[in-house]
Amino acid sequence: MPAAPHRSSIRLAALLLAVVSAGTFAQDAPRARARDLGVAPGIFAPGTHNAITDVAGVRVGQVTLVEGDNVRTGVTAILPHPGNPYRSRVPAAVHVGNGFGKFIGSTQVNELGELETPIVLTCTLCVWKAADAMAAWMLERPDMQQVRSLNVVVGETNDGGLNDIRARPVTAQAVRRALETASGGPVQEGSVGAGTGTVAFGWKGGIGTSSRRLPASLGGWTVGVLVQANFGGVLQVAGAPIGRELDRYAFQNAVAANTDGSRGLADDRGDGSIIIVIATDAPLGDRNLRRVASRAMMGLGRTGSSASNGSGDYVLAFSTADSVRRVFDAPKLDTSELANEQMSAVFQASVEAVEEAIYNAVFMATTISGNGETVEAIPLDRVRDILRRHGIAPAK
């Protein structure tokens, strides 16, 4: 109908305006990625965009939903390659660091060792709506007309502080738009997509990404990471005690009461969740991808998380290499994988990229108000000062 596109255009324009007016405040200093602050974890160099999309063929699409005073959420979609992921499946594995959450489709990924849809991230009470929308989107494809089973993969974190999560505001249209607008190149970070309403270490959290490219002597493979950061702990950056020095960290009420008697914004137990997605072009089967996924917890731990009781810490790793791709109805698999002895550099790259992606999620996030709450962006000027005092960032 002719009126529908016009209404959609008005709605999209209104949402974009709302993001600008409600999501960014004058007191926010210009945001910066970790490397802009002199923080470059590890030894390996990043790829061109320092993003998950540095793995060739991987695309990311995001839709940010900001409506009225209460809706602050969104959708982030990760597509493993340009083709139909159901017909041309990538090996994959899921590691559960702490299972307080929902990761739709994860049991079949681990059972069969493969991914057959894109990966969608959203808010906790919207996972089923997002899964239904992605299933409909996939089943409409001309080459899917006879398909009677589909394992969609949807992860979540709980943005119920800033977002009216009970309204379940994520729509099928938002999921479709994230899937259909996915692209390579730079990835928007911070308070966008599935990170619009998230909180990390008591500060505004969000979407973060990073990558590592191994030297040619170690295979030349690329490892890319994207995180949806919504968890707690005691923030440290390259070992610098940022959370302690900014006086915002888990359990602070028990160990060091605030001087003004207030509780502060940090969750006292460090609860929350994180979804970590790792992509690589290294030719890995699902067994070694499970090993890669488990190493993500080391990168998470470096940032100050202890994977609290109320934290849902999930990692999904997949390989895009042609030599390990699985045709849906092939009678046998003829794959060529890296040997176990070649895995250590991939592990190292994964740990480094996870750590940096989390820093990027926090540093790039902007102050957001919604649902009666305001969560501040971490003050980067103070972070810089702390990093300088600890010899991490360059002197002025």
The beta-strand segments (E) located in the chain are: 59-67, 71-79, 88-99, 103-104, 114-115, 119-123, 153-157, 199-200, 203-204, 206-213, 222-230, 272-280, 311-319, 326-327, 368-370, 373-375
The SS3 call for residue 206 is strand
Take residue 272 and report the two structure tokens written for it: 């929350």
Dihedral over Cα of 332, 335, 340, 345: its sign: negative
Residues 223/231, Cβ–Cβ less than 8 Å: no
Active site residues: 273, 311, 313
Using a 10 angstrom Cβ sphere, with 0-12 exposed, 13-18 middle and 19 or more buried, the burial of residue 150 is middle
**In whole angstroms, what separates CA 119 from the centre of its chain?**
11
Residues 167/70, Cβ–Cβ less than 8 Å: yes
d(CA 98, CA 66): 30
The SS3 call for residue 204 is strand
Q: What is the DSSP string of 272-285?
A: EEEEEEEEE-S---
What is the DSSP pairing of strand 119-123 with strand 114-115?
A: unpaired
Cβ count within 10 A of residue 3: 7
d(CA 228, CA 194): 7
The angle that helices 344-364 and 286-302 make with each other, rounded to 10 degrees, is 50
Alpha-helical runs (H) found in 113-186 = 127-139, 172-180
Using a 10 angstrom Cβ sphere, with 0-12 exposed, 13-18 middle and 19 or more buried, the burial of residue 389 is exposed
Residue 53 contacts by C-beta under 8 Å, 6 or more apart in sequence?
A: 59, 60, 183, 184, 185, 186, 187, 209, 224
d(CA 375, CA 123): 17
